[in-house]
Amino acid sequence: MFQNFDVTARPEQGPARLAALRAEMQRDKIDGFLVPRADAHQGEYVAPRDERLAWLTGFTGSAGFCAVLPHIAGVFIDGRYRTQVKSQIADVYTPVPWPDVTLGDWLVEQLPEGGIVAYDPWLHSLQEIRDLTERLASSGISLVESDNLVDRIWPDQPAPPMQPARAHSEDYAGESAEKKAQRLAEGLRKSGQSAAVITLPDSIMWLLNIRGSDIPRNPVAHGFAILHDDARVDLFMAAEKLSELRIGAHVTLHTPDRFLEATAGLNGQVAVDARSLPQAVARVLGDRLVAVGDPCALPKARKNAAEIAGSVAAHLRDGAAVVETLAWLDAQEPGTITEIDVVKTLEGFRAADPALRDISFETIAGTGANGAIMHYRVTHDTNATLQEGHLLVLDSGGQYLDGTTDITRTIAIGSPGREEAKAFTRVLQGMIAVSRLRWPEGRSGRELDAIGRLPLWMAGQDFNHGLGHGVGAFLSVHEGPQGLSRINTVPLEPGMILSNEPGYYREGAFGIRIENLVVVEEAPALDTADPDRKMLAWRTLTFAPIDRRLVVPEMLSSGEREWLNSYHADVNRTIAPRVSAAAAEWLNAACAPL
């Protein structure tokens, strides 16, 4: 499954591509053009055709955008990518720390009054354009819609994805597509809305119990949908994608080019998600739209019993693949294998499972300084050898018919340094603190985020990514609206699956991350608990050993030590019967009590 092909610009190609874009801007008499990493469906992940940001700048992160002006081209990146961007873009581009610096403030600083900034209305959400318009209101800078200037200058732009979709069994989904539509339609009626417009690919897949492969590593098909208050669904998707399955009788299929026309013809109030509705669609809806959010988002996040059971089963098989890889890795001498060797070995063990449909994202295997690049993706150009004393950050996952997995382990190559071990132990303490947590119903990720950072904070350290993200059920490995971060205000509810992944990164030296997936459940009863206060807790889904060679035992409290020993006992008990004899022997030693 390892791939080393993409549409990314090499640094030496950056100047020519930027010059070509500026020529188009001059031809259109505009002073700026916005290039987001986005497509018309407004999901996190895009197909090769829509990798405009990477093609233009070379930056391959999963979030960011470029604002091209006549004298400067800013590449806006958040804290996850401030190391990565330095090695990927040419010096004709200027990294901009975002959201510390907002696009609106930057444009006001860089453009004179009367400046004109153009954008493709299919690639920017209603909320984005609302916020930017409000910021520029008194600046004299105007926003105008445009066709896509990057598409004009991209001669070998890939074709739109046209992969076949397939049915997602109700045995895995736990509920029929008809019942989902009826349940959501009832919510529309109660709220006084006649319809909801849905553009997010994973929401459409969940609603209709189908899966696709239009986007690498994500089982989604591109399309648009309108859910009506009588539970009818209009689906706007190329018919050839659906030739291998039968859609429900409540679904009417249309070609995608009819979507705007159908949206314009809706009557009454129409529910939309302002953060994912393209501005092109918002324009035709006008004052009929009601920005109440994607009606699929929370129901999709609250996994039902069948989805949770599937995730549990997938994690057990996935854990076996990870353990086989870790046992193999431990048998290799430092200096004899590379990052790509690790990726291919892990993906090979996963591929042995007939339920695997793909990996859930490009496997991250970063050793030494590469480990400090949070979303590092190894290529043949960057492929590093695992050396004595290095750490290896191995972050990976699988897309199985019954669940989506995501696990990170940091592994010592040879004998780790004391400073690395102390930082690893602090990260482990944060992960354990979150794992052991009980909290009152109604709390959000914003209120839990600091708990996973406290051991690092006490040492004057931190990490520039969220503590955890939501995860789908054979869907996107990054799923909203839930999350563990200081900006997430969505209350956590039973059935939600999230990652628990604190980390620490020292640029140019090493990286550390430990990640398990966890599911929200009602907390077990306690004699001391308030009888009228409902408490929630986590159940850990991921089973693979944590490298004991990197743990400084004297830094752990008795409770932390007890948690780790208990977790390792569970790992050994559940995974040993699923692996080879050699891996089981290695696992028994790896899970020995501290």
Give residue 90's pLDDT.
87
Asked if residue 594 belongs to a domain, the reply is no
Q: Quick one: 431 and 362 in the same domain?
A: yes
Which of 153, 186, 221 represents a domain boundary (last residue)? 153
Q: Quick one: 180 and 197 in the same domain?
A: yes
Asked if residue 6 belongs to a domain, the reply is no
Instruction: Find the domain containing 407 and state its range.
Output: 302-585
pLDDT digits 0-9 by tens, 455-481: 999 999 999 999 999 999 999 999 999
Asked if residue 206 belongs to a domain, the reply is yes
Element (H, E) at 407: strand 407-412
Asked if residue 5 belongs to a domain, the reply is no
The helix-helix angle for 558-575 and 581-590 (nearest 10°) equals: 170
Q: Quick one: 358 and 316 in the same domain?
A: yes
Pick out the chain residues at pLDDT < 50: 4-5
Which of 282, 300, 318 represents a domain boundary (last residue)? 300
Q: Which residues sit opposite 75 in a β-bridge?
A: 66, 95
Q: How many residues does the chain have?
A: 594
The CATH number that applies at residue 181 is 3.40.350.10
- Beta-sheet pairing, 166-167 with 210-211: antiparallel
Asked if residue 306 belongs to a domain, the reply is yes
Q: Quick one: 25 and 98 in the same domain?
A: yes
Give residue 584's pLDDT.
98
Write the burial class of residue 53 (CB in 10 Å: 0-12 exposed, 13-18 middle, 19+ buried).
buried
What is the Cα–Cα distance from 521 to 388, expressed in whole angstroms? 42
* Residue 412 near residue 451, CB atoms below 8 Å: no
In what order do the strands lie in the sheet containing 251-254? Answer: 251-254, 233-236, 224-228, 195-198, 270-272, 289-291
Q: Quick one: 537 and 394 in the same domain?
A: yes
Asked if residue 161 belongs to a domain, the reply is no
Give residue 62's pLDDT.
82
Pull the structure tokens for residue 314: 């997938």
Q: Quick one: 362 and 400 in the same domain?
A: yes
Q: Quick one: 525 and 410 in the same domain?
A: yes
Give residue 6's pLDDT.
66
Write the burial class of residue 3 (CB in 10 Å: 0-12 exposed, 13-18 middle, 19+ buried).
exposed
Longest dimension (CA), the chain: 74
Which of 300, 322, 345 represents a domain boundary (last residue)? 300
Asked if residue 50 belongs to a domain, the reply is yes
DSSP per-residue string spanning 118-144: EE-TTSSBHHHHHHHHHHHTTTT-EEE
Reported pTM = 0.94
Q: Quick one: 315 and 208 in the same domain?
A: no
pLDDT digits 0-9 by tens, 390-441: 999 999 999 999 999 999 999 999 998 999 999 999 999 999 999 999 999 9
Asked if residue 364 belongs to a domain, the reply is yes
Within 8 A by CB and 6+ apart from 341, the residues are none
For residue 514, give the nearest of 402, 433, 417 by alpha carbon.
Answer: 433
Give residue 5's pLDDT.
47
Give residue 215's pLDDT.
93
Domains contained in the chain, number: 3
* Residue 536 near residue 520, CB atoms below 8 Å: yes
What is the Cα–Cα distance from 406 to 386, expressed in whole angstroms? 23
The CATH number that applies at residue 314 is 3.90.230.10
Q: Quick one: 61 and 103 in the same domain?
A: yes
Q: Quick one: 77 and 113 in the same domain?
A: yes
For residue 437, give the nearest of 500, 374, 373 by alpha carbon.
Answer: 500
Pull the structure tokens for residue 257: 């080019």
Q: Quick one: 436 and 371 in the same domain?
A: yes
- How far, rounded to the nearest angstrom, does the alpha carbon of residue 202 sit from its chain's CA centroid? 12
Q: Quick one: 557 and 417 in the same domain?
A: yes
- Beta-sheet pairing, 407-412 with 516-522: unpaired
What is the SS3 assignment for 360-377? CCCCEEEEHHHHHCCCCC
Give residue 1's pLDDT.
59
Instruction: Report helix, strand or coil for 76.
Output: strand
The CB density around residue 422, as the number of other CB atoms within 10 Å, is 16
